[in-house]
Structure 1
Amino acid sequence: MRARLTLLTAGLLLATAACAGNGPATEQPADAKPSGTITVLTNRTDLVDTAFKEYAKRFTELHPGVEVKFEGITNYEDEVRIRMNTPEYGDVLLIPNSVTPSQLPSFFEPLGSTQELGKKYRFINEQAYDGKVYGIATFGNAQGFVYNKRVFEAAGVTDWPTTPDEFIADLKLVREKTGAIPYYTNYAAGWPLTMWESFRGSLSADRDYVSGLAHTDAPWAAGTDHHTIDSLLHRIAAEGLIEKDPTTSDWEESKKLIGSGKVASMALGSWAIVQMQEAAASPDDIGFMPFPQQNAGKFHATIAGDWKIAINKHSENKVTARAWLDFFVDRSGYAADSGSIPPVADAPLPEQLKPLEDKDVQFVEQNPAPANETGLTNDIDEKSEIGLNQPEYRQRIVDAGRGASEESLEAIFTDLNAKWKTARAALAGN
């Protein structure tokens, strides 16, 4: 099970916001107390009969007589998107990736203002529109490299690399001294390569990096985050530090490989730490490090919210739905159980992320774009047909590095900059 990816799927939007938005939303008295039954939709099919059942037990102890039913959905994005063309999509659910900000009011109940909820929660602007919040993160992720500490130590590497050159040198030591695959691309699965995009903003420690892409003609110019990120990925492939045939790699198998020490590292969100620990001979073998570059003498790691939990605008039991949402986010312990960043801003980090805290890694959360530029970076990306969050973009870079194509990295950067400049001129014009 993997966490939510930020997909730019503007071409795959819901059929129409008006379809599910027809008819008045059900209202309940302001002083109503939780009662009755609610249905909660979730992508975590693996937890429906285990952890979620325990959460529900604790919730019903607080609210006797209430019943919480879970519906686990394997192909969550596609199935829920279709169901949202009717009012029947549960009482509480995770907001599908394809819902645009302007569609949020048509499908979901407002939870409060960004100003008020922002005092308590992280990631509050990620599912908000016109100053109102429609979804709260179930947890947050830091972006970095999951790695097998035992393998790195066997190679003589005990400190985190502070530059891309040091990281390459460390991976070479892993190959020479342990025989492990230094870095596993998970090329065949595709989506793991999109994790590299989440490093943007951390190298420069720039909280406006993503929105700032709408104001540059050359995101891949030397010295930019994208140039450094993609240069490192290309070099890892070019130096032969990846799996022998990445086109046959396997995500589920990769967990076992890094857990057993046959693979040394992978770029993933912090959500993956627990899954890798579960596959390891010892959970202590699995570590997590930030991108190998420092800014002002400190490491930085981008953070972002995972799936956002929300209330169906057409729910007939919004009071109980809201009580469940608040309990799940504030008190269930789901974020800690997932080894992830709690959505409550002052909550402690889980044990898995203590090393980042101990080494004073600075978290970088992207600011929302100005109101008149909401979605502009995504629109430029879509028009350019680059696909910053799609696997083909970085599969191309891996292929160039491993010699599966005749493209040079410089030619790729020139092409990407040209496409971005043309799309930006058509949409931004400034």
Structure 2
Amino acid sequence: MFDFDATVLARIQFAFTISFHIIFPAITIGLATYLAVLEGLWLKTANQVYQQLYQFWSKIFAINFGMGVVSGIVMAYQFGTHWSAFSAFAGSVTGPLLTYEVLTAFFLEAGFLGVMLFGQQKVGRNLHFFATCMVATGTIISTFWILASNSWMQTPQGFEIVNNRVIPVDWFQIVFNPSFPYRLAHMTVAAFISSAFFVGASAAWHLLKGNDTPAIRKMLSMAMWMALIVAPLQAVIGDFHGLNTLEYQPVKVAAMEGHWRNEGDKPTPLILFAIPDMDAEKNHFSLEIPGLASLILKHDLNKQVPALTEYPAEDRPNVLLVFWSFRVMVGLGLLMIFAGLWSAYLRRKDKLYSNKHFLRFVLVLDPAGLIATLAGWFTTELGRQPWVIQGLMRTQDAVSSHSVNHLSISLGIFIVSYCGIFGVGYSYMMRLIRKGPDIAAKSH
């Protein structure tokens, strides 16, 4: 299939399934917290608008949660089917971490989800609010364990290798590996941003259609407050994450920057635009700002950033993909920061709900958080290549012994099945959003 070998096809299949999967947790993490806040505000203020929003968004949450569970199970099975060598080598670390996620997070979510979705008229208000909070807590715990496992693959520690197997020796070091705190914060905030623009774009669509109700206005207001707070915060977290990556995975940062070589003692420029050429080891059509990469990554104009040519060619990731996926993430992040600041300006002018240019801009940014999240994951995972576990196991040594035909057929089946199944779920979710909460009670 397109002259790809088995390793590339296995990687494409895993990338396809995880790309589908990650969009659902990214929404459910943020929506679960949003629902807890809505119910808490309703209990405190008795304002029925909060209850209307809770009932509306709990339906959207349920759809995303269900699709996230289904796509997650399929993705997890690939560790055994397509990456059996990886599982045999590192399963004693990754297996328990994923088990802890099921035992703590998934059981917590599943145990209280029924009460949250169907028990509002059957249990007391405080118990129902507790169930909502437990579901929201479960989504964060799930993120904790998944990121612990993935971060260990980026910056492994707390183990020894015996008989070509990874043996855990210090679980605290394994879980709290050097990149874990930054990646956990980065992913959690990314989920909040994705949900904020998902909610905000839904409200903007209704306002542009003339559905100007108290519930719709509250949706937009809360979403834009969240965007104003967390989008700039994400930029700060990203800076710390970048410094951590520079320390432990410098070749990834070099690829993100498209930086091939240092010249003398000159500070490293920031490359805004380029087309990296891995064969020629240079960039085409490069647009640079002198010295800015040194200032951002080293916080010192007298220090240089490591260059790609300092590392063997076989240890470099795909520079073109890493370079541009990073810029997609950063570019969308800047647009979302701008949207938050614009909303604050319009709020002061009392035009937040009536400025059509702003509402259209928010509507266009509907998928921005999810696309930025995916671009960030691509940057992280592609930037680690050619390693599946940084410095320990190469990706080509982790794949199972399957034929190209087998993987081509399974990939095709996944593409058709996912587009069909999740397409139906997405269509139903969009139909609910178009209906909206309490659109009959127009405000004047």
Fold-level similarity (TM above 0.5) = no
TM-score, normalised to structure 2, is: 0.24
Higher RCO (CA 8 Å, separation ≥ 6 residues): 1
Name the structure with the higher strand share.
Answer: 1
Greater Rg, structure 1 or structure 2?
2
Name the structure with the higher helix share.
Answer: 2
